[in-house]
Amino acid sequence: MSFCKRFAQNRGALVGLVILGLVVLLALLAPFLYPDSPWRMVQRPFLAPGEVSGFWLGTDVMGRDVAAGLAHGAWVSLLIGLISTVVALAIGVPLGALAGYFGGRIDDALMRFTEFFQTIPNFALAIVLVAIMEPSTFSIVLAIAIVSWPPVARLVRGEFLSIKHREYVEAARLVGQTHRDIIIKQILPNTMSPVIVLASLMVATAILLESSLSFLGLGDPDTMSWGYMIGAARTVMRQAWWLSVIPGVAILLTVLALNLVGEGLDDALNPQLARAR
Amino acid sequence: MTLLSSVTGRLTAAALTLSFAAPVLAQETPQAGGVANVAIQPEPPGLMLPLVQNAPTQRVAGNIFESLLRYSTDLEPMPQLAETWEISDDGLTYTFHLHPDVKWHDGEAFSSADVVFSADVFLRQTNPRTRVILDHVESIEAPDDNTVVFTLKEPFPAFIQAFEVGTMPMVPKHIYEGTDFYNNPANNHPVGTGPFEFAKWDRGSVIELDKNPDYYEDGKPYLDKIYWHVIPDAASRAAAYENGTLDIMPAGSVENFDIPRLSEMDGSCMTESGNEYFNPFAMLWLNNREGPTADKRFRQAVMYAIDRDFAKNVLWNGLGEVPNGPFNSTLASHDDDLEQYPYDPDKAEALLDEMGYDGEPVRLLPLPYGETWTRWGEAVRQNLEDVGINIETESSDVAGWNQKISDWDYDIAFTYLFQYGDPSLGIARTYMSSNIAKGSPWNNVEGYANPKVDELFAKAAVENDSEKRQAMYDEVQQILHDDVPLAWIMELAQPTIYRCNVHDLITTGIGLSDGFKNAWIEQQ
């Protein structure tokens, strides 16, 4: 059975893919749908959705178009989610690979280092990092990456431990391939399926983390993000509930979609497990 | 809610307020008794007003301590500890005749010796702002128990404005003389002459003040007790007012967007009075030293680019005033004829073109004082970006903000400053080049230096002839108006929301910070 077919067998994953596709489309189209800055104050504040035509999601506390914020925020959320995941992979995969492949003292040293990060609660560490570095897109991406790489390292290490004694690896070693070649060409490609699944879930976590930081006022003050929109609307919940609910639903759908897709990937990449279920 | 229904809602509320107000007018005689529950936000660091000058400290301690004078809402001096006073024609001698029967809360008699000790010893040492005022004073003498004479080195007409309780609170000599002022045990149980005595302070919860039974003004105060409730969360404070736990919400304890809701409740009243003396003035520091903000045309462009009416209407619910220049419009020396900078983005762009602004990034540092200030930063950023200025917003906490401003490490930064009723007390400090010094966020932080302005402020402060003084102040306003050393964005309103059955709550230009001496509660 092909990869696509196995993926499609999971209905939820398909739904997730469709939602994710729409969010990506919204993010890509944002500069064309709303060429103006989403910070621009364009109408009376506190317009309810649909109250004035052209503002189908209403306006916020300062008369900014909520729909424009949502579209531009989609771009920011996805971008931060993706980049910080890539950065986390770039830290976690090599560390896990080295630890798993060489074992012994190197393994001990790297895993103690990883555990050091795992003992500190993710969100607390992210807050501290962003507060120290001053909030900006760069510091947020870095903070999210720093708190999310340890699981990657552990996962990759585990895979390496189980694969490194397989016969084809022994064979590669026998023909004299360098450690580097064995790690990169022989073992790493075979650890990728669980890493891909994990990465898709990490994007979801990163989006949540970014939203939480922005909600607390630790977002990049120059970028419109969903978390910022909720944070700014929280105090006016009683006057205008929709200002918090709309971006909240957007976060919910995106994170849900990513989780569904992740599950679908898991099914598609690990057919034995999927069938056993 | 549609616009129409919102308007009707407001009309109904207004009608209700009116119908509630009617019986109030009939009832004019103060009734004794009752307890006031007041919000205090944030919790003050201490209550020893002569040592701690934070606004929340004075809110509470303004009931415990008193000064020689109080000031009406027109900033006219009124008697307090001094019953009468005379100023000599040459403006050099100020003679105060004290109220004869005043006692400290511990029962000791208050006398002119306390005044001399407070002004000449205690406050000179502990209050930097008072010290600057007292630099004009040659000597302070007490010819008898009820008379105090201040002799000045040169005429300083604003001196009569300096006897406000936060600036010149009276300190008991018999407790503090010869002690370490900062570590005196009495600081935890402050002793004053005011209408209310300190009773109890449960940190993080409530501060309790009791009526002073031996107060020297007959029948006053009317209230039995004042409870100051510490509730850090704005939403909880608003709820506490709605459910009747709190009766009085001083300025700053209600978020701006909650003001219409709370003030339109049945039996709820609001006043903007009691703000005249401090008159917080919101400004943007513009760094005059370097970068685009060093160019006068850029600074003028900022004034044209910012939609100040929008900020007033949307962020401050229409409360406050848009200033036309460096002087607050409630000051007697304010020049009403100064031309207003209108919101004119085209003119701003033209000025930027003229100076050849090349898109060099300009940093904007908002004030980390909560929601409204953050939103205001966003609005100003958008205004400036709309005319082509490339803005980078910085975020910081209060300590970081203090640090950056004190180190002059900013391009554009939000702030607000008190005016203290006279240009020589509250305004000159921001523009005189003698006041440029790293390390304080409250002096001439923008680095503006103009010998003409220095001279005019210095001369006006010691000019005894009011017409000549006004001519100088007019000239200085015109110069500053054209130079735009900083951007004047708003004269902030300080609305107090309270139950309509509380009367005479605010009777002076310092409002709630002057104590509840006259306040009384109408019993149903």
The answer, for B314 touching chain A at a CB cutoff of 8 Å, is yes
Upper half-sphere CA count for residue B71 (Cβ side, 13 Å): 28
Q: How many CA atoms lie within 13 A of B192 on its CB side?
A: 34
Q: Are A236 and B260 contacting, i.e. CB atoms less than 8 angstroms apart?
A: no
**Which chain A residue lies closest to B254 (C-alpha atoms)?**
A235
Q: Is B398:B374 a contact under the CB 8 Å cutoff?
A: no
- From chain A, the residues in CB contact with B314 under 8 A are 41, 45, 61-63
Given a contact cutoff of 8 angstroms between Cβ atoms, the answer to whether B393 and B376 are in contact is no
Confidence of residue B18 (pLDDT cuts 50, 70, 90): very low
pLDDT at B437: 85
A222 has a chain B CB within 8 A of its CB: yes
Chain B: give the shortest CA distance to residue A37, in Å.
9
Answer yes or no: do A63 and B314 touch at CB < 8 A. Answer: yes
* pLDDT the model gives residue B27: 55
Query: How far apart are alpha carbons A19 and B11 in whole angstroms?
Result: 46
Distance, in angstroms, between B128 CA and closest chain A CA? 33
Q: How far apart are CA A230 and CA A221, in angstroms?
A: 14
The 10 Å Cβ neighbour count of residue B121 is 17
User: Which candidate from A39, A45, A238 shows the least CB-CB separation from B378?
Assistant: A39
pLDDT of residue A236: 84
In this prediction, residue B402 carries a pLDDT of: 85
On average, the pLDDT of chain B sits at: 89
Residue B21 has pLDDT above 60, yes or no: no
pLDDT of residue B420: 85
- Rounded (5°) CA angle A72-A74-A78: 125
B382 and A63: CB-CB below 8 Å? no
User: A141-145, B56-60, B137-141: lowest mean pLDDT where?
Assistant: B56-60
Q: What are phi and psi of A240, to 5 degrees?
A: -145, 80
Report, at the CATH architecture level, how domain A2-276 is classified: Orthogonal Bundle (1.10)
Any chain A CB within 8 A of the CB of B393? yes
**CA nearest to A241 within chain B:** B1
Of B250, B223, B224, give the one whose Cα is nearest residue B39. B250
Band (pLDDT 50/70/90 cuts) for residue B15 is very low
B57: its two tokens: 């400290």
Look at residue A194 and give its three-state secondary structure.
Answer: helix
Say which of A45, A217, A218 has its CB closest to residue B314: A45
Residues of chain A with pLDDT under 70: 1, 272-277
Beta pairing, strands B412-417 & B281-286? antiparallel
pLDDT at residue B5 in the model: 37
| CA nearest neighbour of B48 among B191, B173, B163, B172 | B191
Touching check for B395 and chain A: CB below 8 Å? yes
Question: Which two three-digit tokens encode residue B361?
Answer: 């990034």
Residue A170 near chain B (CB below 8 Å)? no
Q: What is the pLDDT of residues A239-266, one digit of tens each?
A: 889 999 999 999 999 999 999 999 999 8
Residues with Cβ within 8 Å of residue B298, at least 6 apart in sequence: B292, B351, B352, B355, B357
- Predicted TM-score of the model (pTM): 0.81
Of B261, B391, B395, the CB nearest to A135: B395
Q: What is the pLDDT of residues B155-178, one digit of tens each?
A: 998 999 999 999 999 999 999 999
Tens of pLDDT, residue by residue over B66-97, are 999 999 988 899 999 999 999 999 999 999 99
| pLDDT for the residue B11 | 39
Q: What is the pLDDT of residues B307-328, one digit of tens each?
A: 999 999 988 888 899 999 999 8
What is residue B106's predicted lDDT score, i.e. its pLDDT? 95
Q: Is A171 on the interface with B (CB under 8 A)?
A: no
Q: Is 60 exceeded by the pLDDT of residue B6? A: no
Question: Are B374 and A41 inside 8 Å of each other by CB?
Answer: no
DSSP strands (E only) in B42-81 = 69-71, 77-79
Share of chain A above pLDDT 90, in %: 70
Q: Which residues of chain B does A39 touch, with a Cβ-Cβ cutoff of 8 Å?
A: 378, 381-382, 385
Q: How confident is the model at residue B457 (pLDDT cuts 50, 70, 90)?
A: very high
Q: Which residue of B has its CA nearest to A49?
A: B1
Indicate the domain borders of chain A: 2-276
- Measured torsion, CA atoms of residues B392, B398, B403, B405, in degrees rounded to the nearest 10: 60
Query: Mind giving me the DSSP string for B117-173?
Result: IIIIIIHHHH-HHHHHHHTTEEEEEEEETTEEEEEESS--GGGGGG-STTTS----H
B255, B261, B314 member nearest A62 (Cβ)? B314
